[in-house]
Structure 1
Amino acid sequence: MKYCAALLMVVMFSSCTWLTTNNQQIGQAQLKNFETRTIDAPFDAVYLAATEALFDLGYQIRHSEKASGVIMGEQYYNYTESVYLGKGVYDRQDKKKVFELTLLIKPEDKKSTNVRIKTSVDGQPKLNKDAIDKVWVYIDRQVMMASPPEKPTKGRKSTQTPAVQS
């Protein structure tokens, strides 16, 4: 009976560990699908929109090269950390964390462009879904604002009423 209970406990703990590690990991294909999108706009418009999106979100543009389609932006977060020195003595240390976004923008054809976004913290790759989503929203807004309104087609009458002359 003791062996059965011990075996049951081992199975329960190992299944809990398996569930938590598998739910947190994202596959390479899923990651690439999340990071990459196609935008229905020409390369120049998307590149400008991506640059403005990073700027609007408070990133400093560290590097940009239009020929290769790369834009790198970074934000700095300052924080204070208490370090235990021993015997009840703590030291306060000011630290800086660097959050980086890298965008790779490639033209697919004349009217559509692929964009891929990678995130990292202090130079180490780390997925930040919220930051990526914010950048997508801003890029979409910038592209929509930059696109000109549709022109009326020939033969279509204006819906405006003529001004009354007095």
Structure 2
Amino acid sequence: MFIEGRRIGGYDDLRRHFGLKVAEPGETSYRPVIAVFAMAALMALAASQAAFGTPLTARAGEWFIAFSMCILAMLKLQDVEKFSTMFLNYDLLAKRWVRYGYVYPFAEGLAGVLMAAGVLTWLSAPIALTIGTIGAVSVFKAVYVDKRDLKCACVGGSSNVPLGFVSLTENLMMIAMAGWMLAVMNRGAM
């Protein structure tokens, strides 16, 4: 790009020339997480609208968590090797049993799909409860006890999302969803 006869360079240089922000390599970004949760929320509202004629239902809340889990699992499975390598940095079970880093995205995806379908709650809820609890304890220990500055593997192995509140929230949402589904299942059995 040339401006007034002076070579500016490519896209990033042009942005800098006009005083606009340019993302630096390795820079922290919450954009991937925001995109996942925003899309999952919109999908849940759309599914609720299609199924019940209104976007705001309890089922939309359930679908939001289930769809979030499915999207996050898909991102992890794009490069399960990179994901498991990042995951090993903080997950307590993966540190003891390395294969868990490879199992986790499949388990998260399976639980999410079953929860979205509303089937096999006896299987999906314990899976979500187990991986959510292990994840929440691992993130809490790494970030708030050990005070480690790590990248989160939650949106796959190539993200620059810092491990912390967002990761903890993801795990707590899984725990809450599992508890909710178990409670609903038990209520239905009575």
TM range (shorter): under 0.3
Over alpha carbons, which structure has the higher Rg? Answer: 1
TM-score by length of 1: 0.27
Structure number with higher strand proportion: 1
